[in-house]
Structure formats: C-alpha cells, structure tokens
C-alpha cells in the first residue's frame, strides 16, 4: 500500500483522528468527553495521520518538551503519543510512516531527542528508542508502619488547595523540581490543566510552601472509604500525583498523607525507584513497590548533538561503534565533545541501547552482561558507567 502522511487541521480531521485512535485501542469516546476534553487537548498539539488511498488508517501526536539531562542540562525533545493504527491496517507500515514523518520534522527543527511511553516493549527498539527510565508503577504503604526514622524537619507549611485546577501552583513546583531530575519534562499550562481535567469532586489537593512562602511541593489524592463492619476505619488513600522540589517538602507531604485520620493504606503510582520515602520510614520494608517497569523511552534523533548536550560525571574518553558509525566521546569538566573518528572502537552498541544509557539509568555493564552490547576493550563499560552516571535515578512524573 502507498501511505501518505500529513499534519491535520480543523475540527473534522481531529474528530476522525480521535476515532481512529479509539478504535486502535478498542474503546469509544463518549461524546461529552470528546467535546470537552479530547478535542481541546488535540488542538494544543501537532496531530499527524497516515492515509491509504485517502482513508485515515493511523495517527500519532507530536508534543514539544524540554527534558532535563544529567548534569542539570536541558534539551528540546519531541514527545510522541496518541499512536494508533486501525486493526485492519496493522503491519503494513503505518507506524513506520508516521514515525519517519515525525523524526524528519525533529531533525529539520534541530530537536536532538525524541521521547515516548511504549505500550509494548518490542515495538520501538527498531526505531532507535531505548527504555531510559525505570519506575514503580505502584507502591503501597500501611500507615500503621508510617513512623519516620528521624523527626520531620520542616520550616515550611502545608495548605489545602480549593482551586480544582491550580495551574500556577503546579507550574511553580514543576519549574523548581524538574532541573533536579534527569528525564523530567516541562509542561505547558494547557498540559497542567489536562492533568486535572479528569479529576472529580473526590480529589483533594495539598501544596507545600517553603519558609519564604514559595510553593515547592504538591499532591493530589482521593479517599476510598472502607469501614470494616461499619466500625473500624481502614480507608484507602489513592495518591495520583506527588511532586516536590525539596526533601523538606517531600517529607512534609508524606507525613501529612501518613497522618490523615481513618486511613489504613496508601497507594501511589509512578514513583522513581530512589524515592527517599524508603529512608524516611523507620520500617522501610513496609513501603512495598509493586510492578517495576520501564518509563520513558528515548531516541537520539541526532546522536552527536545528543551526546554533547548532556553533562558527564567523570572525565573520560570513549570510542563507540554505533551501528557502524565510529564516534569519539571526550568528557572533561562535566561536558563532552563528540565527533566521528577512525580510532578503534571500545564498545559496539546499537542506537536503542545507547539511548537506554543516555539518562544514566541503565548501566553499560548491565547491557554487556545481558548481551545487548559488545565490550571490545576490557574496562570500557565500567569507564562508560562512570562517565554516564546520573546524580539521581532518571524519572519522569508526566505520563503523556
Ligand atoms: C503498535 C501499532 C501502533 C503498530 O502499528 P503498525 O502500523 O502495525 O506498525 P508497522 O506496520 O509500521 O510496523 C513497523 C515495525 O514494527 C513492528 N511491529 C509493529 N507492531 C509490533 C508489535 N506489536 N510487536 C512487535 N513488533 C511490532 C513491525 O513488525 C515492523 O517491523 P519491521 O519494519 O522491522 O518489519 C499498532 O499495532 C497499534 O495501533 N496497536 C494498538 C495501539 C498501540 O499499542 N499503540 C502504541 C502506543 S505507544
């Protein structure tokens, strides 16, 4: 089949886009949800569709982000989402055509990275994406084991937020927290508003202010009631969002959640694996992480620009064979230069696996042991691990 791809425009095309996407995922949008939430959200992003003989068969969205890199640096990243192909048209190249279109656009605009969340682990590696962050899909905590090992130290204060869509507060917290976390992304006000679009009246919001009165923490939660024999309260607290720009705010919000009356269990989703809550708790074993999985997938649209954009923990020199291209990476004083070379390669790696290491969350030595790269010179992977290390586990709070 001959596929054409193009950017969509106008309400009718966006409606068709939403329909194709819904069919690909096996559901239907209610008209009210479509009109109030979905179509306004699609108007904020770039919607691309693949056509076969004039019929829309596949869809994808390109959303622009700025992503935090190791070393506290930033780079533009093209976020890909809303990917779906009609079930009857699968495996005929629609996804490939859509991604080719979007990657070409990123290249043209000088965007060195692309990011996405993958519904399956086997699809995106062939396009150069690698799983670059790991997350706890869910964690649970029994509040009876919620005592901290050390007393809470907090010169700030907590405040309940009445506004059902507190965009300015969340923006302030994100802008202060994201430089600290490799893999974290910025958000437009419309994106923040979307995070609250689905919230119902059962959602509560709490924010933390530092001693100077500036917002540095934010959480949303819902209480699911559970009264055993209508006498013993053991409500379940579902925490949807927890953002913090300081350990004081993080600890204060956790203390608040753990101390809510009548709550027996807390469940929280999408957490970094190095969440300090484990070490705040005296009985840290009761913070039970369930379902560890990949988070953000990343592609180096321009590997040389991408490798020069991030910071490096240690000085070092590395020659990579990247799918036949030899690259010399020389890091000094936190930054690196990268250029084609004729030197003998020390590590042979494909684009997907190099992308997995990019944010510092996946070790070269692990990939070597998992037979995902070739260490051609002894010690090269260990050296690469030290160079690519990240000060914190990479994580992205936003599932787009
Ligand atoms: C996943 C999906 C988008 C793939 O679209 P598609 O048009 O069938 O993909 P293509 O035909 O362009 O395939 C491109 C390549 O990916 C491979 N591929 C596609 N789907 C795959 C799958 N589910 N598992 C493994 N490989 C897959 C193809 O074999 C092909 O490989 P090749 O070019 O090396 O031969 C489509 O099946 C779909 O809409 N699924 C349901 C919704 C979904 O999961 N969306 C993804 C959101 S991240």
Domains and CATH numbers, the chain: 3-111 (3.40.630.30), 136-294 (3.40.630.30), 297-388 (3.30.1050.10)
C-beta of residue 186 within 8 angstroms of C-beta of residue 63: no
Nearest CA owner, ligand 1 atom 27: 123
Nearest CA owner, ligand 1 atom 3: 84
Residue segments in the chain with a per-residue pLDDT below the cut of 50: none
pLDDT of residue 302: 98
Whole-angstrom distance, CA of residue 347 vs CA of residue 326: 10
pLDDT of residue 201: 86
pLDDT of residue 311: 98
The CA 2 to ligand 1 mean position distance, Å, reads 17
Residue in 91, 102, 298 to alter for ligand 1 test, most ligand atoms within 8 A of Cβ:
91
User: What are 44-81's pLDDT values in tens digits?
Assistant: 999 999 999 999 999 999 999 999 999 999 999 999 99
Nearest CA owner, ligand 1 atom 4: 95
| CA 57 to ligand 1: nearest atom | 7
The CA 94 to ligand 1 mean position distance, Å, reads 8
Residue in 123, 125, 351 to alter for ligand 1 test, most ligand atoms within 8 A of Cβ:
123
The CA 139 to ligand 1 mean position distance, Å, reads 31
Ligand 1 neighbourhood includes 94 CB (under 6 angstroms) = yes
- Tell which residue, 143, 144, 141, 150, has the closest CA to residue 286: 141
The pTM (predicted TM-score) of the whole model is: 0.96
User: What are 9-53's pLDDT values in tens digits?
Assistant: 999 999 999 999 999 999 999 999 999 889 999 999 999 999 999
Tokens of 235: 């409500």
Whole-angstrom distance, CA of residue 5 vs CA of residue 58: 9
pLDDT of residue 1: 67
Tokens of 211: 């001693």
Nearest CA owner, ligand 1 atom 47: 83
pLDDT of residue 197: 84
The CA 102 to ligand 1 mean position distance, Å, reads 16
């Amino acid at each position: 089949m001959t596929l054409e791809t193009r950017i969509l425009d106008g309400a009718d095309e966006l409606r068709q886009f939403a329909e194709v996407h819904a069919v690909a995922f096996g559901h239907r949008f209610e008209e009210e949800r479509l009109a109030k939430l979905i179509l306004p959200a699609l108007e904020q992003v770039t919607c691309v569709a693949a056509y076969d003989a004039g019929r829309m068969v596949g869809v994808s969205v390109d959303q622009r982000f700025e992503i935090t890199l190791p070393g506290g640096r930033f780079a533009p990243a093209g976020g890909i989402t809303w990917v779906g192909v009609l079930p009857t048209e699968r495996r005929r190249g629609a996804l490939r055509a859509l991604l080719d279109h979007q990657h070409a656009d990123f290249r043209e605009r000088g965007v060195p990275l692309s990011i996405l969340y993958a519904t399956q682990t086997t699809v995106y590696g062939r396009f150069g994406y690698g799983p670059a962050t790991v997350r706890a899909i869910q964690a649970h905590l029994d509040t009876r084991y919620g005592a901290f090992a050390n007393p809470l130290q907090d010169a700030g204060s907590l405040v309940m937020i009445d506004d059902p869509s507190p965009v300015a507060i969340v923006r302030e917290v994100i802008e202060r927290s994201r430089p600290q976390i490799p893999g974290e992304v910025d958000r437009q006000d419309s994106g923040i508003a979307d995070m609250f679009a689905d919230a119902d009246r059962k959602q509560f919001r709490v924010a933390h202010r530092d001693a100077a009165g500036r917002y540095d923490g934010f959480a949303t939660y819902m209480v699911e009631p559970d009264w055993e024999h209508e006498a013993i309260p053991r409500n379940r607290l579902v925490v949807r969002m927890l953002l913090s720009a300081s350990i004081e705010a993080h600890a204060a919000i956790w203390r608040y959640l753990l101390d809510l009356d009548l709550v027996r269990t807390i469940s929280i989703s999408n957490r970094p694996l190095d969440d300090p809550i484990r070490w705040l708790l005296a009985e840290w074993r009761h913070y039970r992480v369930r379902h560890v999985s990949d988070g953000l997938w990343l592609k180096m649209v321009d590997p040389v620009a991408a490798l020069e954009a991030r910071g490096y923990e240690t000085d070092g020199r590395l020659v990579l064979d990247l799918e036949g291209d030899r690259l010399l990476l020389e890091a000094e004083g936190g930054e690196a230069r990268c250029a084609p070379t004729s030197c003998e390669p020390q590590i042979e790696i494909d684009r997907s696996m190099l992308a997995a290491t990019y944010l510092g969350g996946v070790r070269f030595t692990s990939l070597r042991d998992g037979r995902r790269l070739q260490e051609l010179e002894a010690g090269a992977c260990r050296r690469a691990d030290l160079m690519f290390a990240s000060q914190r586990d990479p994580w992205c709070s936003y599932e787009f």
